[in-house]
Amino acid sequence: MTDRYLVVGNPIEHSLSPIIHQAFAEQLGHELVYTKQLVTLGGFVECVREFREAKGKGMNVTLPFKLEAFKIAEQCCDLARHAQAVNTLSFEAQCCWGHNTDGLGLINDLHNRHGLKLAGSKILILGAGGATQGVLGPLLAEYPSRLVVANRSVAKAAALVAKFTSHAQEMGVSMHACGLDSVDESPAIIINATSVGVDDQDSLDHLFARIPVRGAFCYDMSYGNVARFKEWSEQRGAAQSVDGLGMLVEQAAEAFAIWRGVRPQTEAVLARLRSQSGHR
C-alpha cells in the first residue's frame, strides 16, 4: 500500500504542502500520497485517530493545532519538547512521535537563502502562539544579543518568555516580553509569527503602529496572498521584506527526512513554487 501523509489546519485551502512533498517525492523517486484536510475546531484529536487507524504514516500540523498536537504526541523529539508545540507527527510502531521542524526551517532560510548573521543581533518576534514557540529554541541557539516577544496580550507573551528564560540565560541572551503597542527599541530583524492575514482582518496600521520596521530586515512567516506584513513593512521603509515560503519549503524538507530517511534538495522546489504560484 502506498504511504499516505496529510497536512491539517484551519484554514488549509492555501497550503502548498502537498505540492512541495510531491515534488520532493519525484526528486528522490519515492512513491507516496500527500493530501490536505480542513479540520474543524475541536476535531483535531478525532482526525488524528482516524488517520492512524487508516494506516497513515505522517501528518503536518499548521494553525491552530500545533499546541494540541504536542499534547497528544506520545513521544517528542527535543525541539518539540522544548517548544511544547508540534508541527510534524510520525506514526511509527504504534507510537505517535511529535517533532517541530519550524525552527530549523526558519534558520536554514535566514542563513542559507538570505545570508543573515543572527549572532549578536537584536530580534523582535511578533506573536506568542505555536509558531513562535516552535522557533524560539533554534533562534536562541544562534546567540542573538537580545530577543523580544511582542504580542497583543502581554501576559501571553510573558508566559511564553518565562518558559525559555533559563535557556536564554544559558545562551547569554537578553530575552523580554512586551505588548505590540509598547515596543520601544529598534531591532535589526523583525519576524512576524502572528496569524494576521490568515484569520485577522484588523488594520495592520492599527495592530503594528509601534513596530519599528524602518531599516529592519522583516520576515513574514506567512506567504503569498496572506503575507500582509511583508507588504506592509515594505511600504514603511524596511531594509528588506521577505515572505515565509522559503521557511515552508525548508521545514517541509526536515519533515520529509523524518518520515523517509533522506533530506531532499530545496532550491529547485522553491524556484518552481515561485514561478508557478507567483509568490515572489
Per-residue pLDDT of 73-109, as tens digits, reads 999 999 999 889 999 999 998 899 999 999 999 999 9
- CA dist 115 and 128 (Å) reads 26
Q: Which long-range contacts (CB under 8 A, 24 or more apart) does 119-122 make?
A: 119/143, 119/144, 120/144, 120/145, 121/145, 121/187, 121/188, 121/189, 122/146, 122/147, 122/148, 122/185, 122/186, 122/187, 122/188, 122/189
Order across the sheet with 32-38: list the strands: 32-38, 3-9, 58-61, 88-92, 95-99, 75-76
d(CA 93, CA 96): 8
Catalytic residue among 66, 71, 117, 122: 66
Q: Do residues 170 and 251 both lie within one domain?
A: no
Instruction: Looking at the structure, tell me whether residues 107 and 209 fall in a common domain.
Output: yes
Look at residue 198 in the predicted model and tell me its pLDDT. 60
Determine the pLDDT at residue 90. 98
Name the percent of the chain lying above pLDDT 90. Answer: 84
For the chain, how many structural domains are there in total?
2
For residue 127, give its domain range: 103-243
Query: Are 125 and 221 in the same domain?
Result: yes
* CATH code for the domain in which residue 32 is found: 3.40.50.10860
Whether 169 and 142 map to the same domain: the answer is yes
- For residues 161 and 256, membership in a common domain is answered with no
Residues 152 and 228 in one domain: yes
- When mean pLDDT is compared across 159-173, 186-200, 224-238, 256-270, the lowest value belongs to 186-200
Whether residue 66 lies in the annotated active site: yes
pLDDT tens for each residue of 170-215: 999 999 999 999 998 899 999 999 988 665 556 898 899 999 999 9
- Are residues 16 and 80 located together in one domain of the fold? yes
**Tens of pLDDT, residues 74-83:** 999 999 998 8
26 shares its domain with 152: no
b/e string for 118-143 if b means 16 or more Cβ within 10 A?
beebbbbbbbbbbbbbbbbbbbbebe
Residue 129 pLDDT grade (very low, low, confident, very high; cuts 50, 70, 90): confident
Mean pLDDT of the chain: 94
Residues 81 and 180 reside in one and the same domain:
no
Q: pLDDT category, 223, cuts 50, 70, 90?
A: confident
Shared-domain flag, residues 270 and 202: no
122 and 65 in a common domain: no
The whole-angstrom separation of Cα 280 and Cα 271 is: 10
Q: Decide: residue 110, CB within 10 A, 0-12 exposed, 13-18 middle, 19+ buried.
A: buried
In the structure grid, which three cell numbers stand for residue 98, read together? 511529535
Q: CA 245 to CA 223: how far, in whole Å?
A: 5
Q: Which of 29-38, 77-86, 105-114 has the lowest mean pLDDT?
A: 77-86
CATH number, domain of 214, equals 3.40.50.720
Question: 170 and 272, same structural domain?
Answer: no
